């Protein structure tokens, strides 16, 4: 693949991942958190389901159950936690915490899948954990949003392990479409039962929902999957460290968020940790389920 085209597509997909945090926070002015993310992924799931309607769908109740569980963890839990976190922490902080996911995948992969990792990958985990500690200001008096941000990373990493374990049985586009739809429906139900629903219809709010559903979900997924299929998925996944950078940058540009020095320092360590974990990928050893981690958004 042409290196220039590859670089352009990497920037496109990671900027869509990262900027969705700031755009989502703007959307909270018009729509309550769970309702907003429920609308986003229900719409995205429906559009993708129409697109893949001629592809083979899960054949048994058990297979639908697996897709539903992935949807609950990957979409409902991850995105619910992200948007709830945005009520009390900045978009940049939320994106950094959420993109701890690759570091956690190493731990879960070792414990639950018996995967083997190199020393440099474990070093990446330790560097990343140190980065999180510094990002949070080197203290334990966290905001409620901090816990939600960490919860999104935990849910995402567990979903990644499940996709690694079960994804081979499904068409990747079908699984992506229906897990988004399942998660979106759960979020819609939560949005009208667990919080006081708020929906202010304006051209801006409609644009935000459409942007999050089409550009930050469908286009982002399609571009990321294309990149994964064009080259070594493990090496490609190393570029995920750009997503939190764009999360911090978009929060500064769109929301005038003030980024403290410890967020910069901790973010750099987290990026370095993710880079170490991903860049040492060895296809023969299957050291990390990087392709599975593509089922995500931000």
Question: Could you report the average pLDDT of every consecutive run of 10 residues in the chain (298 residues)?
Answer: 84 90 92 93 94 90 93 91 88 80 78 77 79 65 81 88 81 89 94 91 95 91 76 62 79 82 79 72 44 43
Q: What is the pLDDT of residue 235?
A: 61
Q: What is the pLDDT of residue 295?
A: 44
Q: What is the pLDDT of residue 49?
A: 93
Distance CA 20, CA 37 (A): 11
Q: Which residues lie below 8 Å from residue 89, measured CB to CB, with a gap of 6+?
A: 143, 145, 146, 149
Distance CA 240, CA 15 (A): 10
Query: What number of other Cβ atoms are within 10 A of residue 203's Cβ?
Result: 7
Structure token pair of residue 65: 């159950």
Q: What is the pLDDT of residue 231?
A: 62
Can you tell me whether residue 53 is helix, strand or coil? coil
Q: Cβ(34)–Cβ(83) under 8 Å? A: yes
User: Helices 261-279 and 91-98: crossing angle, nearest 10°?
Assistant: 30
Q: Which residues lie below 8 Å from residue 78, measured CB to CB, with a gap of 6+?
A: 98, 152, 155, 156, 159, 296, 297
> How many residues would you count in the chain?
298
Which of the 8 DSSP states describes residue 257? P
Q: Residue 31 burial by CB count (10 A; 0-12/13-18/19+): exposed, middle or buried?
A: buried
Name beta bridge partners: 199.
Answer: 31
Q: Residue 285 burial by CB count (10 A; 0-12/13-18/19+): exposed, middle or buried?
A: exposed
Please work out, in degrees rounded to the nearest 5, the angle formed at the alpha carbon of residue 113 by the alpha carbons of 110 and 116.
45
Q: What is the pLDDT of residue 47?
A: 94
Q: What is the pLDDT of residue 249?
A: 82
Q: Which residues lie below 8 Å from residue 189, measured CB to CB, with a gap of 6+?
A: 38
pTM of the predicted protein model: 0.78
Kindly report the backbone phi and psi dihedral angles of residue 148, in degrees, each rounded to the nearest multiple of 5, phi listed first. -65, -40
Q: What is the pLDDT of residue 278?
A: 66
- Enumerate the domain spans of the chain: 3-294
Distance CA 164, CA 289 (A): 6
Q: Which residues lie below 8 Å from residue 167, measured CB to CB, with a gap of 6+?
A: 175, 292, 295
Distance CA 229, CA 224 (A): 9
């Amino acid at each position: 693949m042409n290196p220039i085209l590859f670089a352009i597509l990497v920037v496109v997909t990671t900027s869509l991942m990262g900027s969705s945090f700031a755009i989502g926070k703007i959307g909270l002015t018009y729509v309550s958190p769970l309702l907003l993310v429920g609308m986003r992924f229900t719409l995205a799931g429906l559009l993708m389901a129409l697109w893949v309607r001629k592809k083979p769908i899960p054949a048994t109740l058990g297979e639908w159950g697996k897709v539903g569980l992935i949807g609950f963890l990957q979409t409902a839990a991850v995105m619910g936690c992200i948007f709830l976190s945005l009520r009390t922490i900045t978009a940049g902080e939320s994106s950094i915490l959420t993109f701890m996911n690759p570091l956690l995948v190493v731990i879960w992969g070792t414990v639950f899948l018996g995967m083997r990792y190199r020393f440099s990958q474990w070093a990446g985990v330790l560097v990343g954990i140190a980065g999180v500690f510094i990002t949070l200001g080197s203290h334990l008096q966290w905001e409620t949003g901090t816990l939600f941000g960490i919860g999104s990373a935990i849910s995402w990493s567990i979903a990644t392990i499940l996709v690694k374990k079960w994804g081979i049985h499904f068409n990747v586009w079908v699984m992506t479409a229906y897990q988004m739809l399942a998660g979106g429906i759960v979020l819609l139900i939560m949005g009208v039962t667990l919080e006081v629903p708020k929906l202010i219809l304006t051209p801006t709010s409609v644009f935000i929902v459409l942007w999050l559903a089409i550009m930050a979900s469908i286009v982002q997924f399609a571009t990321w999957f294309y990149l994964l299929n064009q080259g070594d998925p493990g090496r490609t996944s190393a570029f995920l460290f750009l997503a939190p950078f764009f999360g911090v940058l978009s929060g500064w540009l769109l929301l005038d968020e003030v980024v403290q020095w410890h967020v910069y320092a901790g973010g750099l360590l987290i990026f370095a940790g993710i880079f170490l974990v991903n860049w040492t990928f060895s296809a023969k050893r299957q050291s990390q389920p990087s392709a599975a981690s593509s089922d995500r958004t931000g």
